[in-house]
Amino acid sequence: MMPKAAIALWGGPIGFVVALLVLPTGGEVNDAALAGTAWWMLWWWLSGAVSMGATSLLPLVLFPTFGVLELSASAAPFGSRFIWLFLGGFVLALALERHGLHRRFALRLLGALGGGPRRTLFGFMLATALLSMWISNTATTLMMLPMATAVLGLLEERGGAIRWGRALILGIAYAANVGGMATLVGTPPNAALAGVASDRFGLDIGFAEWLAVGVPVSAVLLLTVFALLVGLHKVPRGGDSAAAEIVAAERAGLGAMSTAEKRVLVLFSGTAGLWMFRVPLNILLEGFFQLNDTSIAVAAAVACFAVSTGDRSDAVSAPAPRLLRQGDLGKLPWDILLLFGGGLALAKGFEAAGWASVMADAAAGWGWSVVAMLALVTVMGLFATELMSNLALTLLLTPVVGALAIGMGMHPLYFAVPVTLASSCAFMLPMATPPNAIVFASGRIGMATMARTGIVLNLVACLIILMMWWVFAPDAWV
């Protein structure tokens, strides 16, 4: 019997060879090679035998070699403007993290909301969600979790184990997942949807347009998750003030805001403002210049490497260091950016072969109503994300559900947006998202506890997404 590691590694390429030998090659596009490539990539994405970024480069090798797409067409998705939008967002988030501005914000918010157990839980969840709108949910969770465990540790020293501590730990992970849904740069699936919508359907989803959808859904989900955690884990109303004490001590240790923090805050505020008001600014300044979300993000990224910290404590003749330095480039999540490109390349192969339309036509032939199909694809997206990367899931599903929507007489985004939102609602399993894995590794949450809580939240989240989308979907996307 082959060891598991060997199966994980060789299952992908063996499946590719089998596809070449068994499946028909098709016409202009080699369908067998396309199917084999999709299998190979999906196998390695799920097994983790090879890094997700390296796996995502397979279309550059296999597509031109086996007649799926020309090399230029295979490589074009890796230069998608949405990859650069996300890169700019990552760089800006890195500047926030490097200079501790995210920590200062979280502590200020916790200080304002802290108090009893319920206020503490809500404060941690709100701070986590707001930060996750702009920086990675992994970094947010890694920052918030130690503060939460310190609060619980102090409470346990004073009065023994507390049951609601599980709600606090889970609340951080779930809020990190939900918060990213609010903005186009908050989580990779949102930008992935925008990329597929642009490349496949010629639609432009801007930062402000996504806010109008993402913020309401994210806010309602956050409040719902909070209420369910309070109910499921019996979080009391009153209690010890340990959270307030720890937050006060942490804030005192921060000191006054540094010049570097102030400059990062100006860059962040300016970037967010330009993203939100880009359309009216373009109308006002038509004929002078035209802004777009990607150029704004890249300009902010360049500024992070050009603007100094204002710290001249070194030699008088030496220039002040920059907000970010060359070494910081290595901290960017290149795997995610490559996964983005590889998924778009695979989607382009599906488009060239007409697969998305074929699958959509088959599903449309079931005779289901639009509402029933909307429920089906949303449930599929929500539970599938427990088992695979939500970015990969979005890149694979959105071309299909977009074509399905067109076939049923709806806007291409009518099914795709709920599927994308649902892909961020992974509450059941530790391996589903990095925040889930991080809080599980803390040792304060068992698999059974996360699964029991998560299945309830998954079902409720699905209903909320469906109801809000069905009632409040923008007219332009219906």
Nearest residue to 356 (alpha-carbon basis) of 403, 408, 420: 403
Nearest residue to 425 (alpha-carbon basis) of 437, 417, 433: 433
3-state SS class at 118: helix
pTM for this entry: 0.84
3-state SS class at 317: coil
What pLDDT score does 159 carry?
64
Q: What is the per-residue burial (b if ≥16 Cβ within 10 Å, else e) of 259-271?
A: ebbebbbebbeeb
- Which stretch of DSSP H or E encloses residue 95? helix 81-98
What pLDDT score does 315 carry?
47
What pLDDT score does 250 carry?
80
What pLDDT score does 230 carry?
93
Calpha distance 62→34 (Å, rounded): 8
Calpha distance 363→383 (Å, rounded): 19
Q: For 288-402, where are the E strands, in sequence order?
A: none
Token pair for 309: 């910290």
Nearest residue to 16 (alpha-carbon basis) of 47, 39, 48: 39
Mention every residue, 6+ apart, whose C-beta is less than 8 A from residue 427: 174, 177, 436, 450, 453, 454, 455, 457, 458, 461
Calpha distance 49→61 (Å, rounded): 18
Residues in the chain with pLDDT < 50? 315
Calpha distance 226→223 (Å, rounded): 5
For 332-379, the pLDDT digits (tens) are: 889 889 988 998 899 888 888 887 777 777 777 777 888 899 999 999
Q: What is the per-residue burial (b if ≥16 Cβ within 10 Å, else e) of 403-437?
A: bbbbebebbbbbbbbbbbbbbbbbbbbbebbbbbe
Calpha distance 227→210 (Å, rounded): 26
Nearest residue to 461 (alpha-carbon basis) of 175, 220, 229, 230: 220
Dihedrals phi, psi of 23, to nearest 5 degrees: -85, 155
Dihedrals phi, psi of 135, to nearest 5 degrees: -120, 165
What pLDDT score does 297 carry?
92
**Residues in a beta bridge with 308:** 322
Token pair for 200: 């496949």
